[in-house]
Amino acid sequence: MANSRSCTPSGFSKIGFAMNTSNHHIWFTNLIVLLFLSFVWNPIFAQDPGTEKKSKEKPSLKDTLDGQFDFSSFLIDSKGFMPVPLIVTEPALGNFGGVLALTFLTPKEIPEGQTYVAPDITAAVGMYTANDSWAVGGGRIGSFPKKGIKYRAFFGYAGLNLSFYRTLPQVGEKEFKFNIDALPVLLSISKSLPKTDLYVGVQYTFSKTSVKPLFDTELPEWVTIKDFDAKTASLGLFTDWDRRDNFFTPDKGTILHLQYAFDDQWTGSDYNYQRLNGFLNWYIPIKPRWISGLRVDAEHVFNDPPFYLLPSLNMRGVPVARYQGATTAVIETEQRYDLNLRWSVLAFVGAGKAITRNESFSDAKTIYNYGTGFRYLIARAFGVRTGIDVAWGPDSFGWYIVFGHNWNR
C-alpha cells in the first residue's frame, strides 16, 4: 500500500459494486432496500490480494504507516461472519434509531489480469427508529467477475411512520401522517460492455403496500382508496458509467447513471406510470488537498403513481418525502479539504426544486440546504473516510453518520 492518501486497487472501479443511488428516488419502494445497501455495503470491504499473507497474523487496529487508528487490517482479515451495528439519523424517521446487520462475506477468486475483486455479501438487517418505524430484511450482493456481471437481490418487511406535506387553499402547507407497511423485493443484474467502464442492466422492484392515515380529518383528494392496499411493480433499464478513482471516497472522476422504468399491469402493478431518473457526480482535485465535488440529479414521472412514490428531494437537512412533485431537480457542491493524511473538513451547499404538474420550473419553490462536516480516514488501504455531517434545510436540521461519500447514501 504505497500511496499515503489512499490505495484502492486499480481494478476496483470496474469490478467492485457501484451502489445505484437512483434507488433513493424511487424512494419508498426502495427505502428499505437502501437501508440494506447503505448500512451493510458501505462499512464492508473486499480483500486486497496484496495483503493475503497478513491474514495469518492477528488483525491490528493501527496502521503500519503512521501508527494511527485504522480498520484496514481488521477488514482484510474479517472473512465470513461479521455483525455490523449502526445508527439511523434520517430526520423523517425521528432523527435516531438503530440498525443491526448480520453479514457474511464470501471472498471471490481473482481472474487473471485483475488485481481486485469485491466479495459476495449476504446479510440480514433489522432496524427500529425513534418514531416507531421498523424494518427487517435480507439480501445478497454478488458478481461473476470473469463475465463482467454484477447482481443484487433483496426482500424485506417494513412498517414506516412518515409525514407528507401539501399546500391547501386558504390553509397553506399542512402535514399528513401515514403508517405505511410494505413487503418490498428488488432484483437487479448488469453487464459490463467490453473494454469500457459502462454497465447496462435491468432492475425489477415489487412491493405489496398497505397505507393507514394517522389523522382524523377528511382524506385529502390526492390520496385514493386504491392507495390503501396496492401492488407496485417496476421494470427498469439502466446504465452506469463509472470513472471514479475510488468507490467509497473519490478524489477524482465521474459517475453517470440513467434509468427508465415502467409500472403497468404487465409488470404486476396496480398502477400505470413511468419513471425517468438520472444523476451525475463529478469529483475534481483543485489542489493536492482540496477536492471539489458537483452533483446534478433529476427525476420525472409520467402519469400518476401512488402519492408515496412521487419523486422527492434527496438533500442533506431535508427529510425524506418532505418536498414532492412530478419532477425533481437537485444541484449540490461539496468542498473537502484534507488537513493531513487522516483528518478532513468539508462544507456543502445545494438547491433543489420539486415541481408539481400545475406549475412551471420558475414558479416552483427553490429549496436550499447547507452544512459542514468532518472525515477521518478510517481504512487507508481502501480509501474509506468516515465522519459526521450536520445540515440545515428551510425548516429542518439533520445530522448524518457517513461511511464513504455522503452521495453514496
pLDDT digits (tens, 9 = 90+) for 69-121: 887 777 666 655 767 788 888 888 988 999 888 888 777 776 766 655 667 88
Q: Quick: pLDDT tens for 273-283.
A: 999 999 999 99
Q: Identify whether 322 is part of a domain.
A: yes
Q: Identify whether 6 is part of a domain.
A: no
CATH at residue 88:
2.40.160.50
CA gap 142, 164 in Å, rounded: 35
Q: Identify whether 281 is part of a domain.
A: yes
Q: Which backbone phi and psi does 24 adopt, to 5 degrees?
A: -65, -25
Cα–chain center distance at 272:
26
The predicted structure's pLDDT at residue 6: 42
| SS3 category, 380 | helix
Q: Which residues contact 356 (CB under 8 A, 6 or more apart)?
A: 325, 326, 364
**Domain that residue 62 falls in:** 12-408
Q: Identify whether 4 is part of a domain.
A: no
Q: Which amino acid is at 104?
A: F
Q: Identify whether 225 is part of a domain.
A: yes
* Cβ atoms of 220 and 180 closer than 8 Å: no
In this structure, how many other beta carbons lie within 10 angstroms of the beta carbon of residue 56?
Answer: 7
CA gap 377, 71 in Å, rounded: 9
In this structure, how many other beta carbons lie within 10 angstroms of the beta carbon of residue 310?
Answer: 24
Q: Which residue has the higher pLDDT, 353 or 62?
A: 353
The grid cell for 382 is: 481502501
Least confident of 60-74, 124-138, 251-265, 289-303: 60-74
- State the total domains in the chain: 1
Q: Identify whether 112 is part of a domain.
A: yes
The predicted structure's pLDDT at residue 41: 45
State yes or no: pLDDT of 267 exceeds 50: yes
Percent of the chain clearing pLDDT 70 (strictly above): 80
* Cβ atoms of 54 and 117 closer than 8 Å: no
> What average pLDDT score do residues 19-30 get?
41
The predicted structure's pLDDT at residue 47: 41
pLDDT band at 353 (very low <50, low <70, confident <90, very high): very high
State yes or no: pLDDT of 212 exceeds 90: yes
Measured between alpha carbons, how far apart are the two ends of the chain, in Å?
27
376: left (phi over 0), alpha (psi -120 to 50) or beta: beta
- C-alpha angle 284-329-175 in degrees, rounded to nearest 5: 130
Q: Identify whether 2 is part of a domain.
A: no
Report which of 256, 223, 224, 261 is spatially closest to residue 241, judged by C-alpha positions: 256
Cα–chain center distance at 245:
19
Q: Identify whether 232 is part of a domain.
A: yes
In terms of average pLDDT, the best of 47-51, 87-91, 169-173, 387-391 is 387-391
**What pTM did the predictor assign?**
0.83
Q: Which residue has the higher pLDDT, 160 or 383?
A: 160
CA gap 310, 308 in Å, rounded: 6
- C-alpha angle 289-295-296 in degrees, rounded to nearest 5: 155
The predicted structure's pLDDT at residue 27: 44
CA gap 349, 227 in Å, rounded: 36
The grid cell for 133 is: 418505524
